Structure 1
């Protein structure tokens, strides 16, 4: 990544955060059971992407597909749990599994950073 690309990405991140704080969007209530799980799935993909970048095997295609598939699969599992009448338990299971992946990737990131 070039220096200009990094600056552009950082600027886009700052603009997005500021816009989100100013607009303060309110999601529809029917999304309430899915948002926490979707956020955890997105964090899992982001930490996995950071790990891949530090290991110099990062691919933007793999990251985007991983990000979208994690979020959609997590939401589908919660929807399945709701349909079966065990929505809360299914949400908890998804968060636990993704949490384990997040901490596994975070420890690999920490090890990579300590080697530098």
Structure 2
């Protein structure tokens, strides 16, 4: 299972680096926040799966809600002339590393 997941992730990354997608500079901030929120949700889902508490509805609703909230903060910050997206970067970044640490500890104990 994990080997298949890793293999698919590797293929997706390789395809992603080969596609010439250029974003306008104005959307880069929103896209980076969206990707960070999505990664937070994915690592949270992996952690929940390892703890046998994964629920599809919670994962999908968290994925959408996190992404919309992060994009909304970035947009509101742009309208107000503030860098509100940094709040999302700090929160999602810390949660991402926390989930990754828990996943790492689980895998080290298991193997």
TM range, smaller chain: 0.7 to 0.9
**Quick one: distance in 2 between partners of 1:41 and 1:12?**
20
Aligned length: 109
TM-score (norm 1): 0.76
State which of 35, 49, 55 in structure 2 corresponds to 1:59: 55
Aligned CA RMSD, in angstroms, stands at 2.2
Alpha-carbon distance in 2 for matches of 1:109, 1:81: 33
User: Are 1:27 and 2:23 matched, yes or no?
Assistant: yes
State the 1:109 CA deviation. Answer: 1.4
Looking at structure 2, the residues matched to 76 and 17 of structure 1 have their Cα atoms a distance apart, in angstroms, of 27
TM-score by length of 2: 0.79
- 1:39 is matched with 35
1:1-116 correspondence to structure 2 within 5 Å: 7=4, 13=9, 16-86=12-82, 88=83, 90-116=84-110
The C-alpha deviation readout for 1:26-80, integer Å capped at 9, x for no partner, is: 1233312212211211111111011011101112332222112111110001111
The C-alpha deviation readout for 1:81-111, integer Å capped at 9, x for no partner, is 111110x2x1222111111211221222123
